[in-house]
Copies of this chain bind each other. A is one copy, B any other.
Amino acid sequence: MTLSAQPGKGVIGVAEAMAAATAEIDAVLQTLLPEPSGPERRLAEAMRYAVLAPGKRFRPVLALSTAELFSVPRRAALRVAVAVEFAHTYSLVHDDLPCMDDDDMRRGQPSLHKQYDEATAVLAGDALLPLAFEVMAHPETHADAEVRLELVRALAEAAGPRGMVGGQMIDLVVEHKPADIGTITRMQQLKTGALISFACEAGAVLGKAPASARQALKAYARDLGLAFQIVDDLLDVEGTEAATGKKVGKDATLGKATFVALLGPERARTQATMLADQAVAHLDAFGERGAFLRRLARFVVQRSH
Protein backbone atom coordinates (compact mmCIF):
# COMPACT_ATOMS: atom_id res chain seq x y z
CA MET A 1 0.00 0.00 0.00
CA THR A 2 1.31 3.44 -0.84
CA LEU A 3 1.90 5.99 1.89
CA SER A 4 -0.77 8.34 0.59
CA ALA A 5 -3.35 5.54 0.49
CA GLN A 6 -2.91 4.96 4.23
CA PRO A 7 -6.20 5.74 6.02
CA GLY A 8 -6.54 8.39 8.72
CA LYS A 9 -6.60 12.14 8.86
CA GLY A 10 -4.19 14.62 10.40
CA VAL A 11 -1.22 12.90 11.97
CA ILE A 12 -3.33 9.83 12.76
CA GLY A 13 -2.00 6.92 10.81
CA VAL A 14 1.32 8.54 9.90
CA ALA A 15 3.25 6.33 12.30
CA GLU A 16 1.47 3.26 10.90
CA ALA A 17 2.17 4.34 7.31
CA MET A 18 5.81 4.92 8.17
CA ALA A 19 6.05 1.52 9.82
CA ALA A 20 4.65 -0.16 6.73
CA ALA A 21 7.03 1.77 4.46
CA THR A 22 9.91 0.94 6.80
CA ALA A 23 9.28 -2.77 6.32
CA GLU A 24 9.49 -2.31 2.55
CA ILE A 25 12.60 -0.15 2.83
CA ASP A 26 14.33 -2.55 5.19
CA ALA A 27 13.74 -5.45 2.82
CA VAL A 28 15.52 -3.57 0.01
CA LEU A 29 18.28 -2.39 2.36
CA GLN A 30 18.92 -6.06 3.13
CA THR A 31 19.30 -7.01 -0.50
CA LEU A 32 21.50 -4.08 -1.50
CA LEU A 33 23.94 -4.31 1.39
CA PRO A 34 26.96 -6.53 0.70
CA GLU A 35 26.95 -10.01 2.23
CA PRO A 36 29.85 -10.63 4.61
CA SER A 37 32.48 -12.80 2.90
CA GLY A 38 36.24 -13.10 2.53
CA PRO A 39 38.87 -11.70 4.89
CA GLU A 40 37.10 -8.32 4.76
CA ARG A 41 33.81 -9.75 6.08
CA ARG A 42 34.00 -7.55 9.19
CA LEU A 43 33.31 -4.54 6.93
CA ALA A 44 30.03 -5.88 5.54
CA GLU A 45 28.99 -6.98 9.04
CA ALA A 46 29.60 -3.48 10.38
CA MET A 47 27.71 -1.88 7.49
CA ARG A 48 24.74 -4.14 8.19
CA TYR A 49 24.90 -3.44 11.93
CA ALA A 50 24.66 0.31 11.34
CA VAL A 51 22.14 0.34 8.51
CA LEU A 52 19.76 -2.37 9.69
CA ALA A 53 19.42 -0.95 13.21
CA PRO A 54 15.91 0.36 13.81
CA GLY A 55 16.18 3.85 12.34
CA LYS A 56 13.27 6.21 11.80
CA ARG A 57 13.71 5.90 8.00
CA PHE A 58 12.47 9.49 7.77
CA ARG A 59 14.56 10.38 4.71
CA PRO A 60 13.68 7.26 2.69
CA VAL A 61 10.00 7.78 3.54
CA LEU A 62 10.32 11.30 2.12
CA ALA A 63 11.79 9.91 -1.09
CA LEU A 64 9.00 7.34 -1.36
CA SER A 65 6.20 9.77 -0.65
CA THR A 66 7.43 12.47 -3.03
CA ALA A 67 7.87 9.78 -5.71
CA GLU A 68 4.21 8.82 -5.16
CA LEU A 69 3.19 12.33 -6.23
CA PHE A 70 4.43 11.52 -9.72
CA SER A 71 3.42 7.85 -9.85
CA VAL A 72 7.04 6.69 -9.97
CA PRO A 73 7.29 2.87 -10.01
CA ARG A 74 7.73 1.63 -6.44
CA ARG A 75 10.81 -0.36 -7.31
CA ALA A 76 12.67 2.71 -8.58
CA ALA A 77 11.56 4.85 -5.65
CA LEU A 78 12.69 2.18 -3.18
CA ARG A 79 16.17 2.03 -4.71
CA VAL A 80 16.60 5.78 -4.32
CA ALA A 81 15.11 5.65 -0.83
CA VAL A 82 17.68 3.05 0.12
CA ALA A 83 20.53 5.06 -1.40
CA VAL A 84 19.42 8.01 0.74
CA GLU A 85 19.44 5.80 3.84
CA PHE A 86 22.94 4.55 3.04
CA ALA A 87 24.15 8.15 2.77
CA HIS A 88 22.34 9.11 5.98
CA THR A 89 23.69 6.16 7.97
CA TYR A 90 27.21 6.88 6.77
CA SER A 91 26.89 10.43 8.14
CA LEU A 92 25.58 9.18 11.50
CA VAL A 93 28.44 6.69 11.84
CA HIS A 94 31.07 9.33 11.17
CA ASP A 95 29.36 11.99 13.29
CA ASP A 96 29.29 9.56 16.24
CA LEU A 97 33.08 9.03 16.14
CA PRO A 98 35.06 10.04 19.25
CA CYS A 99 36.80 12.83 17.30
CA MET A 100 33.39 14.22 16.27
CA ASP A 101 30.34 14.16 18.56
CA ASP A 102 31.56 11.10 20.50
CA ASP A 103 28.18 9.41 20.80
CA ASP A 104 28.05 5.98 22.43
CA MET A 105 24.46 5.14 21.56
CA ARG A 106 22.64 5.29 18.25
CA ARG A 107 19.32 3.86 17.20
CA GLY A 108 18.96 2.11 20.55
CA GLN A 109 22.23 0.19 20.34
CA PRO A 110 25.92 0.93 20.90
CA SER A 111 27.17 3.18 18.13
CA LEU A 112 29.31 1.47 15.52
CA HIS A 113 32.71 2.42 16.93
CA LYS A 114 31.64 1.16 20.37
CA GLN A 115 30.37 -2.14 19.02
CA TYR A 116 33.32 -2.65 16.65
CA ASP A 117 36.14 -0.10 16.77
CA GLU A 118 36.96 3.31 15.38
CA ALA A 119 38.77 2.09 12.29
CA THR A 120 35.88 -0.18 11.34
CA ALA A 121 33.44 2.69 11.88
CA VAL A 122 35.42 5.02 9.62
CA LEU A 123 35.60 2.31 6.96
CA ALA A 124 31.95 1.26 7.19
CA GLY A 125 30.96 4.89 6.67
CA ASP A 126 33.44 5.17 3.82
CA ALA A 127 31.89 2.09 2.18
CA LEU A 128 28.27 3.21 2.53
CA LEU A 129 28.62 6.41 0.55
CA PRO A 130 29.94 4.89 -2.70
CA LEU A 131 27.28 2.20 -2.33
CA ALA A 132 24.64 4.94 -2.45
CA PHE A 133 26.10 6.21 -5.74
CA GLU A 134 26.36 2.71 -7.13
CA VAL A 135 22.68 2.02 -6.43
CA MET A 136 21.55 5.24 -8.07
CA ALA A 137 23.77 4.87 -11.13
CA HIS A 138 22.48 1.34 -11.79
CA PRO A 139 20.11 0.93 -14.77
CA GLU A 140 17.45 -0.63 -12.52
CA THR A 141 16.97 2.72 -10.83
CA HIS A 142 15.67 4.43 -13.98
CA ALA A 143 15.71 3.69 -17.70
CA ASP A 144 16.79 7.25 -18.52
CA ALA A 145 20.52 7.81 -18.00
CA GLU A 146 20.02 11.56 -17.57
CA VAL A 147 17.69 10.93 -14.64
CA ARG A 148 20.24 8.71 -12.93
CA LEU A 149 22.98 11.27 -13.50
CA GLU A 150 20.79 14.00 -12.08
CA LEU A 151 20.38 11.88 -8.93
CA VAL A 152 24.13 11.27 -8.72
CA ARG A 153 24.90 14.97 -9.09
CA ALA A 154 22.29 16.03 -6.54
CA LEU A 155 23.45 13.46 -3.97
CA ALA A 156 27.09 14.40 -4.53
CA GLU A 157 26.21 18.00 -3.79
CA ALA A 158 24.08 17.12 -0.75
CA ALA A 159 26.81 14.86 0.67
CA GLY A 160 29.78 17.10 -0.10
CA PRO A 161 31.39 20.29 1.12
CA ARG A 162 28.33 22.40 0.22
CA GLY A 163 26.08 19.89 2.02
CA MET A 164 26.30 17.47 4.95
CA VAL A 165 30.06 17.64 5.41
CA GLY A 166 30.12 21.43 5.30
CA GLY A 167 27.37 21.50 7.93
CA GLN A 168 29.24 19.14 10.23
CA MET A 169 32.33 21.32 9.85
CA ILE A 170 30.36 24.39 10.97
CA ASP A 171 28.99 22.35 13.89
CA LEU A 172 32.55 21.59 15.05
CA VAL A 173 33.81 25.11 14.45
CA VAL A 174 31.06 26.81 16.46
CA GLU A 175 31.24 24.38 19.40
CA HIS A 176 31.75 26.30 22.62
CA LYS A 177 31.42 29.56 20.75
CA PRO A 178 28.49 31.95 20.66
CA ALA A 179 26.68 31.50 17.34
CA ASP A 180 23.89 33.62 15.89
CA ILE A 181 20.67 32.29 14.43
CA GLY A 182 22.00 32.80 10.91
CA THR A 183 25.00 30.56 11.50
CA ILE A 184 22.91 27.86 13.19
CA THR A 185 20.39 27.96 10.38
CA ARG A 186 23.13 27.62 7.75
CA MET A 187 24.72 24.78 9.72
CA GLN A 188 21.47 22.86 9.90
CA GLN A 189 20.51 23.56 6.30
CA LEU A 190 23.78 21.94 5.26
CA LYS A 191 24.12 19.26 7.95
CA THR A 192 20.62 17.79 7.89
CA GLY A 193 18.73 19.97 5.41
CA ALA A 194 20.75 19.07 2.33
CA LEU A 195 19.99 15.34 2.48
CA ILE A 196 16.34 15.88 3.45
CA SER A 197 16.10 18.22 0.47
CA PHE A 198 17.71 15.60 -1.76
CA ALA A 199 15.24 12.96 -0.54
CA CYS A 200 12.27 15.20 -1.43
CA GLU A 201 13.74 16.30 -4.75
CA ALA A 202 14.60 12.73 -5.72
CA GLY A 203 10.93 11.84 -6.12
CA ALA A 204 10.51 14.73 -8.54
CA VAL A 205 13.67 13.81 -10.45
CA LEU A 206 12.51 10.20 -10.82
CA GLY A 207 9.11 11.42 -11.98
CA LYS A 208 10.61 13.96 -14.41
CA ALA A 209 8.38 16.49 -12.70
CA PRO A 210 8.20 20.08 -13.98
CA ALA A 211 10.58 22.62 -12.43
CA SER A 212 7.74 24.22 -10.46
CA ALA A 213 6.94 20.96 -8.67
CA ARG A 214 10.60 20.43 -7.93
CA GLN A 215 10.94 23.92 -6.50
CA ALA A 216 7.85 23.41 -4.34
CA LEU A 217 9.27 20.19 -2.91
CA LYS A 218 12.63 21.82 -2.24
CA ALA A 219 10.86 24.62 -0.37
CA TYR A 220 8.82 22.04 1.56
CA ALA A 221 12.03 20.18 2.40
CA ARG A 222 13.82 23.33 3.55
CA ASP A 223 11.15 24.20 6.09
CA LEU A 224 10.50 20.61 7.10
CA GLY A 225 14.21 19.96 7.58
CA LEU A 226 14.61 22.89 9.97
CA ALA A 227 11.44 21.90 11.87
CA PHE A 228 12.77 18.33 12.12
CA GLN A 229 16.11 19.58 13.46
CA ILE A 230 14.56 21.90 16.03
CA VAL A 231 12.51 18.96 17.35
CA ASP A 232 15.70 16.88 17.42
CA ASP A 233 17.31 19.57 19.55
CA LEU A 234 14.21 19.70 21.79
CA LEU A 235 14.30 15.93 22.24
CA ASP A 236 17.93 16.21 23.32
CA VAL A 237 16.74 18.52 26.09
CA GLU A 238 13.34 17.04 26.92
CA GLY A 239 13.44 13.46 25.58
CA THR A 240 14.67 10.20 27.08
CA GLU A 241 17.33 7.80 25.88
CA ALA A 242 14.70 5.04 25.82
CA ALA A 243 12.53 6.97 23.36
CA THR A 244 15.23 8.52 21.16
CA GLY A 245 17.63 5.56 21.10
CA LYS A 246 20.59 7.85 21.76
CA LYS A 247 22.02 9.71 24.73
CA VAL A 248 20.19 12.93 25.57
CA GLY A 249 21.49 16.16 27.08
CA LYS A 250 24.57 15.92 24.88
CA ASP A 251 24.20 19.29 23.16
CA ALA A 252 24.36 21.25 26.41
CA THR A 253 27.32 19.21 27.66
CA LEU A 254 29.21 19.82 24.42
CA GLY A 255 28.22 23.49 24.39
CA LYS A 256 26.59 22.92 21.00
CA ALA A 257 25.01 25.82 19.21
CA THR A 258 21.39 24.76 18.73
CA PHE A 259 18.09 26.50 18.12
CA VAL A 260 16.98 25.48 21.61
CA ALA A 261 20.09 26.92 23.25
CA LEU A 262 19.52 30.20 21.45
CA LEU A 263 15.73 30.54 21.57
CA GLY A 264 14.80 28.52 24.65
CA PRO A 265 12.51 25.47 24.44
CA GLU A 266 9.24 27.35 24.17
CA ARG A 267 10.17 29.68 21.32
CA ALA A 268 11.94 26.82 19.61
CA ARG A 269 8.76 24.74 19.63
CA THR A 270 6.72 27.68 18.30
CA GLN A 271 9.30 28.11 15.56
CA ALA A 272 9.13 24.40 14.62
CA THR A 273 5.32 24.55 14.39
CA MET A 274 5.53 27.65 12.23
CA LEU A 275 8.04 26.00 9.94
CA ALA A 276 5.78 22.95 9.58
CA ASP A 277 2.93 25.29 8.60
CA GLN A 278 5.18 26.91 6.02
CA ALA A 279 6.22 23.50 4.72
CA VAL A 280 2.59 22.49 4.28
CA ALA A 281 1.83 25.73 2.42
CA HIS A 282 4.32 24.81 -0.30
CA LEU A 283 2.25 21.76 -1.20
CA ASP A 284 -0.86 23.59 -2.44
CA ALA A 285 -0.25 22.77 -6.08
CA PHE A 286 -0.35 19.03 -5.34
CA GLY A 287 -3.93 19.13 -4.03
CA GLU A 288 -5.17 15.87 -2.51
CA ARG A 289 -2.06 13.99 -3.64
CA GLY A 290 0.00 16.02 -1.15
CA ALA A 291 -2.09 14.84 1.83
CA PHE A 292 0.48 12.43 3.22
CA LEU A 293 3.33 14.93 3.00
CA ARG A 294 1.15 17.45 4.86
CA ARG A 295 0.41 14.94 7.61
CA LEU A 296 4.08 14.04 7.75
CA ALA A 297 5.03 17.66 8.41
CA ARG A 298 2.58 17.80 11.35
CA PHE A 299 3.85 14.46 12.59
CA VAL A 300 7.46 15.65 12.58
CA VAL A 301 6.80 18.40 15.12
CA GLN A 302 4.73 16.10 17.36
CA ARG A 303 7.13 13.16 17.38
CA SER A 304 8.69 11.95 20.63
CA HIS A 305 11.69 10.16 19.05
A96 to chain B, nearest CB (A): 11
Task: For chain A, residues 123 to 145, give those with C-beta under 8 angstroms from any C-beta of chain B.
Answer: 123, 125-127, 129-131, 133-134, 137-138, 145
Say whether A40 contacts B153, CB under 8 Å. Answer: no
Question: Is A149 an interface residue when CB atoms closer than 8 A count as contact?
Answer: yes
Say whether A152 contacts B173, CB under 8 Å. Answer: no
A238 to chain B, nearest CB (A): 28
Question: Is A211 an interface residue when CB atoms closer than 8 A count as contact?
Answer: no
B residues near A61, Cβ cutoff 8 Å? none
B residues near A146, Cβ cutoff 8 Å? 145
Bound Cα distance A145, B148 (Å): 9
Bound Cα distance A44, B173 (Å): 13
Say whether A133 contacts B145, CB under 8 Å. Answer: no
Say whether B186 contacts A38, CB under 8 Å. Answer: yes
**Contact flags (1/0) for A30-49 with B, using CB distance below 8 Å?**
00001000111011100100
Say whether B100 contacts A160, CB under 8 Å. Answer: no
Say whether A169 contacts B47, CB under 8 Å. Answer: no
The number of times this chain is found in the oligomer is: 2
B residues near A152, Cβ cutoff 8 Å? 133, 137, 149, 152
A148 to chain B, nearest CB (A): 6
Name the prevailing secondary structure of the A interface residues.
Answer: helix
Question: Is A174 an interface residue when CB atoms closer than 8 A count as contact?
Answer: yes
Interface size class of A (residues with CB under 8 A): 35 or more
Say whether A129 contacts B131, CB under 8 Å. Answer: no
**Contact flags (1/0) for A145-168 with B, using CB distance below 8 Å?**
110110011011101111101111
Q: Chain B residue with minimal CB distance to A177? A: B39
* A172 and B134 in contact, given A40-B190, A145-B145, A152-B152 (Cβ under 8 angstroms): no
Bound Cα distance A126, B94 (Å): 9
B residues near A173, Cβ cutoff 8 Å? 39-40, 42
Question: Is A119 an interface residue when CB atoms closer than 8 A count as contact?
Answer: yes
Question: Is A187 an interface residue when CB atoms closer than 8 A count as contact?
Answer: yes
A133 to chain B, nearest CB (A): 4
Q: Chain B residue with minimal CB distance to A161? A: B127
Given contacts A40-B170, A122-B122, 11 further A-B contacts (CB under 8 A): A34-B161, A38-B166, A39-B183, A40-B169, A42-B169, A99-B117, A123-B165, A126-B129, A133-B133, A148-B149, A152-B152
Please report A residues at the B interface, Cβ cutoff 8 Å: 34, 38-40, 42-44, 47, 94, 97, 99-100, 117-120, 122-123, 125-127, 129-131, 133-134, 137-138, 145-146, 148-149, 152-153, 155-157, 159-163, 165-170, 172-174, 183, 186-187, 190
Closest 4 CB pairs of A and B: A99-B118, A134-B156, A130-B160, A145-B145
